[in-house]
Chain A
Amino acid sequence: MMAGVKSEPIYIIDGARTPFLKSRNTPGPFSASDLATQAGAALLARQAFAPTALDEVIVGCASPGVDETNIGRVISLRLGCGHKVPGWTVMRNCASGMQALDSAIANIQRGRANLVLAGGVDALSHTPLFYPPAMVQWFSRLAAARSLAEKLKVFAQLSPAALFSPVIGIVRGLTDPVVGLMMGQTAENLAWKFGITRQEMDAFAVESHRRVAAAQDAGRLEEISPIVGADGTAYQQDDGLRRDSSMENLARLRPFFDPPYGAVTAGNSSQITDGAAWLLLASAAAVEEWKLQPLGRILDTQWAGLDPAQMGLGPVHASTPILQRHGLQLNDIDAWEINEAFAAQVIGCLRAWNDDAYCRSELGLPQALGQLDQSRLNVDGGAIALGHPVGASGARIVLHLLHVLRRGKLKRGIATICIGGGQGGAVLVETL
């Protein structure tokens, strides 16, 4: 093993996620903590240990509700872990769930924890609307008004335009505050940089839907734990899948981010979705103590930063150092999960690795790393068909990667994700 890599192994014992439920422009049936609690309860119920045996619960969440800002603690209590198990929340935008895993790893390696429930959740359909500053000022003037006359005067100043133009939380959340670009516009940047066409993007999207459909039909999404609403509705499958997805259907969509001249549409981007994903991580001591049978182990993780305007290349910058540390080539990895924020962004990653100039100038490599074999990439589809509940995705791809590896009796895999704000995260796992 290369220098700089801690040798303390981190075992992945088990994992589960909710079905990913597409946002239908109205708050969905479950809040973020509802989702994480249902999937987590099912996961914990099948373990050899009680929920109270956990050392901590770590949750990645990009937009927790206003009444559950430390959603990690809320979920930990709702899961019946008891008062004594600490729970906390981490936030690294689209990689929040992956950050939760990395934070668990840090605490296990530090010797502070042996058994950690870590994962991510977001219920993007519940993202609130906000009053703009003009309305906030109006409310404070109203609160300050004493007499009826003063109050009437304040009412006379109410601007209907401001009242009916709330700030849409989800749009703000998906806009880079530094460079002022929407995430889809950063994908347009990559399309421009690497000459990725609309047809290539749409073809990638069609393939994502086809692969998810095939995986559903073959029962390969075994990490899904069904959830049930209070009204008795059972949710068992990811519902963003379009089985009728085709080049013709996608061609009809209008460029969403840079209309009318761009190429990134709602159809070749990930969907806005509610969902939660969990992994149970354990030290060697915990594996021995509870006689656990791990799914695999985490060998390495890496974070990287890059130009926010090209945030979609984050996976290239995070995965390459892992490959270098372990002396591996792109195709030494048996299976890849690159989160599909945008088709243009995943294609851009593949182009960047295969581009001498990019690899030299941006990665400090002597030449291009080469062509990643696409049959190893996102074999059961990705976020374009499944959706991208921001906080959950980083945990989902690690969990699903392990299932892919075990199913194919394969050894090594990398799950990697791009992060709004110009970062990337990657996790190297192996089966046992």
Chain B
Amino acid sequence: MNNMINNVMNTLTHLVHWKLQRDADGTAWAILDRQNASTNVLTVEVMAELTTLLDECDRQVPKALIFKSGKAAGFIAGADIEELARLDSGAAAHALIKRGWDLYNRLAIVAYPTLALIRGHCLGGGAELALACRYRIAVDEAQTKIALPEVMLGIVPGWGGMLRLPQKVGAGAALDMMLTGKSIDARRAQKMGLVDVCVPPRVMDNAARTLVNSGQPPRTLSFFQRLLNGPLKSIVAAQARKQVARRARPENYPAPYAILDMWANYGGNALLVATEKPTSLDALITSTTTKNLLRVFFLQERLKGFGKAAPKFIPRHVHVVGAGVMGGDIAAWCVLSGLTVTLQDQNVERIAPAIARAALLFEKKLRDKKAAHFARDRLIADPHGDGVRQADVIIEAIFENLEAKQKLFADLERRAKPDALLASNTSSLRLADIASALQQTGRLVGIHFFNPVAQMPLVEVVASDTTSTITAQQAAAFVRRIDKLPLPVKDAPGFLVNAVLAPYLNEAMRCVDEGIAPETIDAAMLAFGMPMGPIELADTVGLDIALAVGRQLVAAEMQPKTLGELVAAGRLGKKSGQGFYVWSSGQVQKVSAGIVPLGLLQRLLKPLLAATAERVAAGVVQDADLADAGVIFGTGFAPYTGGPMNYRTQHPDTE
């Protein structure tokens, strides 16, 4: 086998991003290794070179052609989003889609057998390239993920994904992938027929050579599945449209409806939909939603960038003080990200429930039982705080009491390594006040997580006036290390997210004071596109906490009356089984919302938008874009709006 690899010829020296290598037996390897980039993205140049490469294969026909990545990071991350964002007309969108649609159609019918060897991420246009090959192999590693995430950017898989994915995995599974953008791991991909086989990396090259030259007929769907992807398409589409309607309205999110229409009525060819239809490429590419979603994508990239300022900071051991819900869940999340965590509280009884919750999280998130079991080895109950000595990051998540925190940090500073990061998860205290207890006040930074930790992508990195730049940069690097999005904020009450949420929740609860049903209030915001209504959110956060935060951030005369009464009666929301709603085994019990009165949405939105603008003006975040990013990733604020600041600009009437 070795001399086969040695005996290669690079026949196309003028290619920059691709390499075409031929084995002695005539099998050719098309290796994508985009120049001056860490990930493979399908830019105009990369696609043009692929055309050249296929031309070359027409001239000197290979026995077989295998596509693989030359990058350590993954296979292909998809189309060039920057190019997408530059599209300014329906015509330009047509040209871009046509380029890939035609090229992949050409690839799909070449005379020689083709195979995509997928290792690492394989997204969007990358997955569509793989689908145009006769065979696909997925490498059995956790990083291998296949997805068509176009819908999340408000666009459609127009390079043949809508045509070929249903042919490979059936209509139901294909629509599920295309309408949600969810990713499929290697083992699952084999099970559902998305790839022919899933193999360990040690045999992947040999597997690729063997399979591509096997003459094995490509997979086909069962008779029943062929019906669903053929004559019964319209029934399947109607069913799927109902499901989509439950999550997203066509005026807010047109893309999923376009995908359904293109699949059911146009054979997956986006180019055929008439320009004037709302499901056309022209309509999509010029819609505010698509612009806003692309903007959110770039904002997310910008947040990720904050983690790159301290590349030398590589934490290994995290010490968390406080094993309550937040501390325990932060600890579990860090363990899940591969770090070792010592979790401190007054005694083991207080730590044990956090370990039980972590065990459930590991079982849900990790690939097998063994991995979940061994993850628990890295979560160490530490009633004496012994872990402080070795920790690279120390996160305090104890109760909100200034004196207790000051005392704790003074002690931590004495015992921690001199270069350890000292962080507080405080949400209501001034960071500078806590830092005043330290010898080196510059060492303290806020790392403010949101509940539930495992689901909320944003973490506020709080710098007080004394926090040193390097400390804030290291905190952001740590946040990236655990795969969250760091948002730098200033040490102002409520930082960004809570300061924006509190007046909004307060206004919602004042509506309850006025006799509007919680269900009606929540329905208004759900219709707007919030992931959860404000009253249910208050119940979920805990009404005692909502009251405390509200008192801190909202004027006394604006305090909702019902909230105080509920807290006084011990009805604290989800955790006590009763709040504004009745909760039964963790599930909210709601009655019909009735008709949402006119103007309710605007009334509820107004304080949120105003608070965001006020925070931007006060310089709590660097600029309006970051405020949008923070509110979207910290609260789930309807992404299609592009964030509250963007929404204000696009809807000047709401003020």
A residues in contact (CB < 8 Å) with B: 37-38, 41-42, 45-50, 78-80, 226-228, 230-234, 236
Q: Are A80 and B386 in contact (CB under 8 A)?
A: no
Q: Are B381 and A80 in contact (CB under 8 A)?
A: no
Q: Are A232 and B352 in contact (CB under 8 A)?
A: yes
B628 in the interface (beta carbon within 8 A) = no
Q: Which of B171-179, B353-361, B535-543 contacts A (4 or more CB under 8 A)?
A: B353-361
Q: Which residues of B contact A228 (CB under 8 A)?
A: 348, 351-352, 355-356, 381
Across the interface, A234 reaches (CB within 8 A) one of B352, B380, B390, namely: B352
User: B180-201: which have CB < 8 Å to A?
Assistant: none
Q: Which residues of A contact B351 (CB under 8 A)?
A: 228, 234
Q: Which residues of B contact A50 (CB under 8 A)?
A: 316-317, 390
Q: Which residues of A contact B349 (CB under 8 A)?
A: 234
Q: Are A232 and B348 in contact (CB under 8 A)?
A: no
CB distance from B315 to the nearest CB of A (A): 12
Known A50-B390, A228-B348; contact A45-B377, beta-carbon cutoff 8 A: no
The 6 nearest A-B residue pairs measured at CB:
A232-B356, A46-B386, A230-B359, A234-B352, A226-B348, A234-B348
Known A37-B377, A80-B377, A228-B348; contact A45-B356, beta-carbon cutoff 8 A: no
A230 nearest CB neighbor, chain B only:
B359
13 pairs, CB–CB < 8 Å, chain A vs chain B: A38-B377, A41-B380, A45-B340, A47-B390, A49-B390, A79-B377, A80-B377, A227-B381, A228-B356, A230-B356, A232-B352, A232-B357, A233-B352
Q: Which residues of A contact B353 (CB under 8 A)?
A: 232
Q: Are B382 and A80 in contact (CB under 8 A)?
A: no
Q: Are A45 and B382 in contact (CB under 8 A)?
A: yes
CB distance from A358 to the nearest CB of B (A): 47
Complex: how many Å from CA A50 to CA B342?
A: 13
Q: Which residues of A contact B374 (CB under 8 A)?
A: 78
Complex: how many Å from CA A29 to CA B351?
A: 18
B341 nearest CB neighbor, chain A only:
A45
B389 in the interface (beta carbon within 8 A) = yes
CB distance from B70 to the nearest CB of A (A): 27
User: B118-161: which have CB < 8 Å to A?
Assistant: none
Q: Are A46 and B387 in contact (CB under 8 A)?
A: yes
CB distance from B262 to the nearest CB of A (A): 47
Q: Report whether over half of chain B's contact residues are helix, strand or loop; otherwise say mixed.
A: helix
B362 nearest CB neighbor, chain A only:
A230
CB distance from B173 to the nearest CB of A (A): 33
Q: Which residues of B contact A45 (CB under 8 A)?
A: 317, 340, 342, 380, 382, 386-387, 390
Known A79-B377, A80-B340; contact A42-B382, beta-carbon cutoff 8 A: yes
B378 in the interface (beta carbon within 8 A) = yes
Complex: how many Å from CA A42 to CA B383?
A: 10
B376 in the interface (beta carbon within 8 A) = yes
Q: Are A41 and B356 in contact (CB under 8 A)?
A: no
Complex: how many Å from CA A78 to CA B380?
A: 12
- Is the interface on chain B under 10, 10 to 19, 20 to 34, or 35 or more residues? 20 to 34
Q: Are B380 and A231 in contact (CB under 8 A)?
A: no
User: B374-409: which have CB < 8 Å to A?
Assistant: 374, 376-378, 380-384, 386-387, 389-390
Complex: how many Å from CA A232 to CA B358?
A: 9
Complex: how many Å from CA A232 to CA B377?
A: 14
A40 nearest CB neighbor, chain B only:
B377
Since A50-B316, A234-B348, A234-B381 are in contact, a sample of 12 more A-B pairs with Cβ atoms closer than 8 Å, ordered by chain A residue number, is A41-B378, A42-B381, A45-B380, A45-B382, A45-B386, A46-B384, A46-B387, A46-B389, A48-B390, A78-B374, A80-B378, A232-B356
Complex: how many Å from CA A228 to CA B316?
A: 22
B382 nearest CB neighbor, chain A only:
A45
CB distance from B443 to the nearest CB of A (A): 21
Q: Which residues of B contact A41 (CB under 8 A)?
A: 377-378, 380
Q: Which residues of B contact A80 (CB under 8 A)?
A: 340, 377-378
Complex: how many Å from CA A38 to CA B378?
A: 9
Q: Which residues of B contact A47 (CB under 8 A)?
A: 389-390
CB distance from B348 to the nearest CB of A (A): 4
Q: Are B376 and A230 in contact (CB under 8 A)?
A: yes
Complex: how many Å from CA A78 to CA B381?
A: 16
CB distance from B350 to the nearest CB of A (A): 9
Q: Which residues of A contact B316 (CB under 8 A)?
A: 50
Complex: how many Å from CA A48 to CA B388?
A: 10
Q: Which residues of A contact B352 (CB under 8 A)?
A: 228, 232-234
Q: Are B377 and A42 in contact (CB under 8 A)?
A: no
Complex: how many Å from CA A233 to CA B356?
A: 8
Complex: how many Å from CA A131 to CA B184?
A: 43
CB distance from A32 to the nearest CB of B (A): 14
CB distance from B373 to the nearest CB of A (A): 8
Across the interface, B383 reaches (CB within 8 A) one of A48, A78, A226, A233, namely: A226
Q: Which residues of A contact B359 (CB under 8 A)?
A: 230-232
Q: Which residues of A contact B340 (CB under 8 A)?
A: 45, 80
Q: Which residues of A contact B382 (CB under 8 A)?
A: 42, 45
Complex: how many Å from CA A226 to CA B346?
A: 13
Complex: how many Å from CA A166 to CA B356?
A: 35
Q: Are B355 and A232 in contact (CB under 8 A)?
A: yes
B372 nearest CB neighbor, chain A only:
A230
CB distance from A113 to the nearest CB of B (A): 21
Complex: how many Å from CA A262 to CA B355?
A: 47
Q: Which residues of B contact A233 (CB under 8 A)?
A: 352
Q: Which residues of B contact A232 (CB under 8 A)?
A: 352-353, 355-357, 359
Complex: how many Å from CA A35 to CA B599?
A: 62
CB distance from B239 to the nearest CB of A (A): 40
Q: Which residues of B contact A78 (CB under 8 A)?
A: 374, 377
Q: Which residues of B contact A48 (CB under 8 A)?
A: 389-390
Complex: how many Å from CA A37 to CA B380?
A: 10
Complex: how many Å from CA A233 to CA B355?
A: 9
Q: Which residues of A contact B356 (CB under 8 A)?
A: 228, 230-232
Q: Which residues of A contact B373 (CB under 8 A)?
A: 230
Complex: how many Å from CA A46 to CA B340?
A: 13
Residue in B316, B380, B382 with the greatest tally of chain A CB atoms within 10 Å: B380
Q: Which residues of A contact B355 (CB under 8 A)?
A: 228, 230, 232
CB distance from B409 to the nearest CB of A (A): 20
A37 nearest CB neighbor, chain B only:
B377
Q: Which residues of B contact A234 (CB under 8 A)?
A: 348-349, 351-352, 381
A226 nearest CB neighbor, chain B only:
B348
Residue in A45, A231, A234 with the greatest tally of chain B CB atoms within 10 Å: A45
Complex: how many Å from CA A426 to CA B478?
A: 49
CB distance from A302 to the nearest CB of B (A): 34
User: B322-380: which have CB < 8 Å to A?
Assistant: 340, 342, 348-349, 351-353, 355-357, 359, 373-374, 376-378, 380
Complex: how many Å from CA A226 to CA B378?
A: 15
CB distance from B357 to the nearest CB of A (A): 8
A232 nearest CB neighbor, chain B only:
B356
CB distance from A41 to the nearest CB of B (A): 5
Complex: how many Å from CA A42 to CA B356?
A: 18
A50 nearest CB neighbor, chain B only:
B390
CB distance from B576 to the nearest CB of A (A): 21
Q: Which residues of A contact B376 (CB under 8 A)?
A: 230
CB distance from A332 to the nearest CB of B (A): 36
CB distance from A46 to the nearest CB of B (A): 3
CB distance from A347 to the nearest CB of B (A): 37
B363 nearest CB neighbor, chain A only:
A230
Per-residue CB contact flags for chain B residues 80-96 toward chain A (1 = under 8 Å, else 0) read: 00000000000000000
B351 nearest CB neighbor, chain A only:
A228
Complex: how many Å from CA A42 to CA B340?
A: 11
Complex: how many Å from CA A137 to CA B386?
A: 54
Complex: how many Å from CA A79 to CA B316?
A: 13
Complex: how many Å from CA A234 to CA B353?
A: 9
CB distance from A213 to the nearest CB of B (A): 21
Q: Which residues of B contact A226 (CB under 8 A)?
A: 348, 381, 383
Residue in B381, B383, B384 with the greatest tally of chain A CB atoms within 10 Å: B381
CB distance from B346 to the nearest CB of A (A): 13
CB distance from A230 to the nearest CB of B (A): 4
CB distance from B448 to the nearest CB of A (A): 26
Complex: how many Å from CA A50 to CA B390?
A: 7
CB distance from B498 to the nearest CB of A (A): 30
